[in-house]
Chains A and B, each alone.
Chain A
Amino acid sequence: MKAFEYARAADPADAVARFRPGAMYLGGGTNLVDLMRLGVAEPGALVDVSRLPLGGVEPDGDGLRIGAAVRNSELAAHPLVRERYPVLARAVLAGASGQVRNMATVAGNLLQRTRCPYFQDVSKPCNKRQPGSGCPAIGGDHANLAVLGHSRACVATHPSDMAVALAALDARVHITGPGGDRVLAMPGLHRLPGDEPHRDTRLEPGELITAVALPAPPPGASHYRKVRERASFAFALVSIAAVLDVGADGTVADCRIALGGVAHVPWRAFHAEQALRGSRAGEDAFVRAAEAEMAEAVPLPRNAYKVPLARNLIVRTLLELAP
């Protein structure tokens, strides 16, 4: 591991003041420390924000405000999350292991890097790690990489489960930084790779996530489902966070669908949602919606299985949620 300076910030303003080019913020460390050990991340300085007074899960009007330093385990176990945002509790519980959830923070979960095998291997080229060096995943091992929204420069996926639920719930990410405070609405925190895959998010250097705010829970039934290669402690091949509200007349009043494991971002399925609203809830409509979403998929030779997998996952989950 390359040498770095370490400083513990006292409060968010202190953290931002301590930030300088080449520095990184340290939360739970479950991804960053590993990337530093692998040589993928080589920050000149770490500003430790894991103990900032950014904890707490509290009612916020009709919604909920979640501190950036709240541990994943604390979030999933919180009574208000379990009762009012079960899809979020389910998504967090679907991710990682008990130990990792005890360490990982909410902000760190959002900002974790892709697990693309080439990104994590410094002996290989990678446009995300080393801009302009190429993407061997496109002609190589991309079985678990993106089918939606990728580019010729990068086919990486975002690995978070939590972020998929937050995208479905219209979460708003509160940020402070050298330029002041601002808010980014999910799924807009993350960005598609385009020709700048080294940029995972729309955060500017030195910006720090301070909280995630949830609006009032959407009406309807919700679920988080995750398909993976083993029963626990594995990243998603494809996952879905879905909320479905069917009116008394049997038509879809509202719906939220977001997919994980398919793109560089937690993928909000706007096409499927548009196709569903106002249509009669049932398998025909669900298939049409799923196919409307996956019509823009561009699978690679070894991850084409994700297209029918995502389609079937959308249909199956909606069928379970329909009254």
Chain B
Amino acid sequence: MEITLQVNGVRRPVDVDPRVSLLDLLRERLGLTGSKKGCDHGQCGACTVLIDGRRVLACLALAVAQEGAEITTVEGLASGERLHPLQAAFIEHDAFQCGYCTPGQLCSAVGMLAEGGPSAVTEELAGEPELTAEEIRERMSGNLCRCGAYPNIVTAIAEVGA
């Protein structure tokens, strides 16, 4: 089926089989291999991208259902040579080891910082909670890091979110 997506600001008309996930479309057809395939079951977060500004799992999104959507992958976070503040903070705070989960962590953190509202660990449902380390850990629980770089990931996100 023919669909048209906006990927990192570029119009991308593609002809896709309905079975193709957004993740496979990005990686195998559009050459954007920054988004990673970890579990392919929505449990690890390595494939996290932004659709219309919201963080989602590209492995569970059928490409054919995204007609007209604006997709941002990790390749679209920087402005030319200028890194996104989260990318810079991840480097500054050594927030990764092997780096496989990093594109998903970055896209997830970008989406998370734009979300607001309460989380499962927020005491009061009204108002906007302070972005404590506990809040960051809960809000980022959909992104696993098998190297265990969590402390520095939290530090990097806290710096940008402050």
**Chain A residues with a Cβ under 8 A of chain B:** 1, 3-6, 8, 26, 29-30, 33-34, 37-38, 46, 48, 50, 73, 76-77, 82-83, 86, 89-90, 93-94, 96-100, 102-103, 231-233
Those 10 A-B pairs whose CB atoms lie nearest each other, nearest first: A97-B142, A232-B141, A77-B117, A6-B18, A82-B125, A233-B141, A93-B120, A1-B19, A102-B54, A99-B142
**Cβ-defined contact, A30 with B42, below 8 A:** yes
Q: How far is the CB of B39 from chain A (nearest CB, A)?
A: 10
**Cβ-defined contact, A233 with B19, below 8 A:** no
Contact mask B136-161 → A, CB, 8 Å, 1/0? 01111111000000000000000000
List the B side residues contacting A98 at CB < 8 Å.
55, 108, 111-112, 115, 139-142
Query: Is B26 an interface position by the 8 A CB rule?
Result: no
**Cβ-defined contact, A77 with B118, below 8 A:** yes
Query: Is B162 an interface position by the 8 A CB rule?
Result: no
Query: Which of A3, A8, A50, A93 is within 8 Å of B118, CB to CB?
Result: A93
Interface of B is mostly: loop
**Cβ-defined contact, B65 with A100, below 8 A:** no
**Cβ-defined contact, B65 with A48, below 8 A:** yes
List the A side residues contacting B138 at CB < 8 Å.
231-232
For the complex, count residues of B whose C-beta is within 8 A of A. 39
User: A102 with B56: in contact, given A34-B41, A50-B65, A97-B141 (CB under 8 Å)?
Assistant: yes
Query: Which of B19, B54, B57 is within 8 Å of A30, CB to CB?
Result: B57
Q: Which B50-77 residues have C-beta < 8 A from chain A?
A: 54-57, 60-62, 64-65, 67
30 intermolecular pairs with C-beta atoms under 8 Å apart: A1-B19, A6-B65, A26-B65, A30-B60, A33-B21, A33-B60, A46-B18, A46-B62, A48-B65, A50-B65, A77-B118, A86-B125, A89-B118, A90-B125, A93-B119, A93-B122, A94-B120, A98-B139, A98-B140, A98-B142, A99-B45, A99-B56, A99-B108, A99-B111, A99-B142, A100-B57, A102-B54, A102-B56, A103-B57, A103-B60
CA gap between A102 and B69 in the complex, in Å: 15
List the A side residues contacting B19 at CB < 8 Å.
1, 3-4
Closest chain A residue to B141, Cβ basis:
A232
List the B side residues contacting A86 at CB < 8 Å.
125
List the A side residues contacting B117 at CB < 8 Å.
73, 76-77
**Cβ-defined contact, A233 with B119, below 8 A:** no
User: A233 with B142: in contact, given A76-B117, A89-B118, A103-B60 (CB under 8 Å)?
Assistant: yes
Query: Is B1 an interface position by the 8 A CB rule?
Result: yes
Q: Which of B42, B48, B61, B112 gathers the greatest number of chain A CB atoms within 10 Å?
A: B42
Q: How far is the CB of B156 from chain A (nearest CB, A)?
A: 17
CA gap between A220 and B120 in the complex, in Å: 21
Q: Which of A26, A38, A103 gathers the greatest number of chain B CB atoms within 10 Å?
A: A103
CA gap between A256 and B14 in the complex, in Å: 51
**Cβ-defined contact, A6 with B108, below 8 A:** no
Q: How far is the CB of B36 from chain A (nearest CB, A)?
A: 14
User: A37 with B65: in contact, given A30-B60, A233-B141 (CB under 8 Å)?
Assistant: no
**Cβ-defined contact, B56 with A103, below 8 A:** yes
CA gap between A33 and B57 in the complex, in Å: 11
**Cβ-defined contact, B125 with A100, below 8 A:** no
User: A82 with B62: in contact, given A99-B108, A99-B142 (CB under 8 Å)?
Assistant: no
CA gap between A277 and B116 in the complex, in Å: 39
Q: How far is the CB of A90 from chain B (nearest CB, A)?
A: 7
